[in-house]
Structure 1
Amino acid sequence: MVEDLKGKIRVFCRIRPLSKSELARRSQCIVHFPDEYTVIIKSSRGAKEFQFDQVFNCSTSQEEIFRDTNRLIQSAVDGYNVCIFAYGQTGSGKTFTMIGEKEQANPGIIPKAFKRIFQIIDENQTKFTFKVLAYMLELYNDQLLDLFINRCEGSTTKLEIRKDKKGFVYIHGAEIKEVTNAEMLCALFEQGCKNRHTAATKMNTESSRSHLIVGVTIKSTNLTNGTVTYGKLSMVDLAGSERASKTGAEDEQLKEANSVNKSLSSLGDVISALSAEQSFIPYRNNKLTLLMQDSLGGNSKTLMFVNISPADCNAEESISSLVYASRVKLITNNAQKNSESKEIARLKQVSRAFGNLAAYHMESVGASSTLLVSQEEKESFP
């Protein structure tokens, strides 16, 4: 109830400290936060003020960042679609917010969310049974890649973004792992991160060159009345928008930057259309917007982190990010719990069993496999 009162889409702003390179060139801090909801940034055109649901200054810890986010994890376990994503220019601190340090001395939202999911599950073991599935992808140079598969090994399976009748986005062909504890999920995540594309730039020693998408689906069955709910937690670490003149990107890095900027531009078009309540939303213009179509303007509770640099040399990029985030605040989502009664769940099980029996019979007699259950239904969760 508290989460619903706060709104279906919230935007948090996080300002990182001045970096070593910014201090070395004697950059000045141009960001001021008079209260926990307001950020004021100075520029050559004067001061600009922005209002968000929460503003975190450069001294805010990872624990404080997760404190309010923590409640959204409960919503995902309760059967809602939840999306948490970070946006900002290259080097603004998005990956630190979402993932944390490489050695996990200061874990970010994603590893903390993994632990919280299983804490909630442990607290409710006497009332519910749970099944947790996870996938991990990156969108790199307009290609969707499975991070649970080693990049050196490769994969012949083509990944396709699909949507079921309820608007639930899923990835056909993705490697989906069932996990039974937080340690197992964290280990899979760490391995997947090693497969992600990164590179050094003038703005960042380890810049993300792709969009990271982590999906955790949670099926819970009420032991008292048999009601089944399906929640999906999507966590997205977007690659940073960048200018080649600032990052020094050349050759392959320039190609990566162009791809990232193109996808972020498409995301901006979707955000503009949604905030203006237009009848047509251009989700199909890019794979990134297809992936996020049930998170923005869909059946989801969504939290956006806009990360900015406080340095005067990045004023233009920081203002652009804040304007972008302000448009997200105008979007209205219609978040509803994904649940079905015991009888509907039972009928679905019977339908699947009957479909599998029919398929087995047709294979045994050498007939073509025209199934009674649609392939789309079989591939979707659960």
Structure 2
Amino acid sequence: MKGKIRVFARCRPFAGYERERGCQQCVAFLDETTLEVRGSRGPKQFIFDAAFPASVGQEEVFEDMKNLVRSAMDGFNVCVFAYGQTGSGKTFTMSGTPEMPGLTPRTIAEIFLLKEGLAGVADVTISCYFVELYLDNLRDLFYAVDNPRDTKPPKLDIKVDEKKMVYVKGVVTKPAASAEELSALFDAGNRMRKVGGTKMNAESSRSHSIFSVLLEVANRTTQKTSLGKLSLVDLAGSERADKTGAAAERLKEAQSINKSLSALGDVISALSTEEKFIPYRNNKLTQLMQDSLGGNAKTLMFVNISPADYNADETLTSLAYAARVKLITNNASKTQDSAEVARLKAIIKRMQAGEKVDLDSGGGGSDDGPGGETQPPASDNPPAADDGAAGG
């Protein structure tokens, strides 16, 4: 399945500081896909797959992305990410509030609703990992939850497997048997994220976060096993120090954020113009998103904007960035193995982790190695390869 990355634009309501400044509305929604921004050089129109004014609520926004959850359950690599200047509503779109849940909690509920629908037809195993990129370092948020006093966590490496899917070597992966468990894991990890206050946002995300849900579906009838990955990415916002008042540590964070977003912009530019060399390796953020941009994923981008003329320049920059993303074409493909291949891969994974495996009780093979030691089975599907991309 080949197709362009879908892009949704979403405008938040006026913020308190914008009202205090007497700001005027500079964004107009002409129809369900078109918006116009009045900047210093006159009005400019943008057309996306959907354009949501501030009056559109969380439930309606989720309805337009719900089918992607089913795609992940079907074995596709799916990525949903939010982009925009600091304070533009990205975290509200992705996480929301207890009263107005965002895309992530609604996605979690939908995953288990789909799992219930497969009861009796397939066995569904759900697990997840949660990382953030802070000051160019990759942090395992689940490890931080389990080891809050450990100042030297294990090193993480960003890898790419033989199916061109990104994974994080060394990351803590946790299983979830219910929507409540998965929600609790997300909330616990989210509380470990780096946040801080600026003049434009009382609780500004100071990192990029990636919450990835792994969905393994073993169909009892076809004996096929699919593995889908659904990544929900909350990017930190681009900043201008003169507006945010960033200084000292906040300024250092802002510089790191802007550097990674600039690298992401370079990748988007290269992909949209179909250049031969794509600079994924220039930043850990672009390495993490390698399979979501120009990869094998079904990807949806939310570009979040402010309605105020005070932020018109940043709004225009964000929308121009999103317009480039819309030009990128991805090759979405299912990840699916036969039951036997899936079993052999599981054995290899356990052996790589140092476990002893009894192949006879595992459903095949014989213990014919020297001294009774288990030998790895022959397979046309070798263990995951990586491209050597270094992580945090």
The TM-score normalised by the length of structure 1 is 0.91
Match of 1:35 in 2: 31
Counterparts of 1:184 and 1:281, CA distance in 2:
38
1:125 corresponding residue in structure 2: 119
**TM-aligned CA distance change 1:373 to 1:353, over 3 Å:** farther
Q: Confirm or deny: 8 A CA contact 2:8 2:48 kept in the other structure.
A: yes
What is the aligned partner in structure 2 of residue 240 from structure 1?
237
Is the 2:162–2:384 contact (alpha carbons within 8 Å) kept by the matching residues of 1? no
Whether contact under 8 Å (2:344, 2:377) holds in the other structure is no
**Cα distance in structure 2, aligned partners of 1:281 and 1:354:** 35
Q: Which residue of 1 aligns with 2:85?
A: 89
Partners of 1:15 and 1:295 lie apart in 2 by: 24
For the pair 1:329 / 2:326, whether they are aligned, the reply is yes
Q: 1:239 to 1:370 in 2, by over 3 A?
A: farther
Q: 66, 75, 86: which one pairs with 2:62?
A: 66
- 1:77-116 to structure 2, matched below 5 A, reads 77-101=73-97, 104-116=98-110
Q: Does 1:281 align with 2:278?
A: yes
CA shift in 2, pair 1:317/1:227, >3 Å: same
Q: Work out whether residues 133 and 177 of structure 1, in 8 Å CA contact, stay in contact via their aligned partners in 2.
A: yes
CA contact (8 A) 1:97 1:109 kept: yes
Give 1:119's aligned amino acid. Answer: L
Deviation at 1:153, TM superposition (A): 3.2
**One-letter amino acid of the structure 1 residue matched with residue 54 of structure 2:** C
Q: Which runs of 5+ in 2 are unaligned?
A: 360-366, 387-392
Q: SS of 2:64's equivalent?
A: helix
Per-residue deviation, residues 276-314 of structure 1 (Å, max 9, x unmatched): 011110000000000000000000000000000010000
* Cα deviations by residue, 1:104-160 (Å, 9 ceiling, x for unpaired): 111110111111101100111111001111001110000000111234334531011
Q: TM-score scaled by structure 2? A: 0.89
Aligned pair 1:231/2:228, yes or no? yes
CA deviation string 1:140-197 (max 9, x = no partner): 0000001112343345310110111111111111110011111001111111111110
The corresponding residue for 2:364 is none
Taking the aligned partners of 2:343 and 2:110, their CA distance within structure 1 comes to 30
Matched with 1:167 is 164
Sort the Cα spacing of 1:95 and 1:373 in 2 relative to 1 into closer, same or farther, 3 A. Answer: farther
Unaligned 5+ segments in structure 1 are none
CA RMSD of aligned residues (A): 2.7
Q: Which AA in structure 2 matches 1:267?
A: L
* 2:7 paired with 1:16: no
Match of residue 306 from structure 2: 309
Q: Is the CA contact (8 Å cut-off) linking 1:90 and 1:204 kept in structure 2?
A: yes
Q: Which amino acid aligns with 1:83?
A: C
Deviation, structure 1 residue 9: 1.2
Match status 1:212 vs 2:209: yes
The percent identity for this pair of structures is 52
Measured after TM superposition, the shift of residue 372 of structure 1 is 7.5
Write the distance in 1 (CA, Å) between the matches of 2:289 and 2:10: 22
Q: Secondary structure at the match of 2:276?
A: coil
- Name the counterpart of 1:46: 42
**8 A Cα contact 2:348 2:383, kept in partner:** no
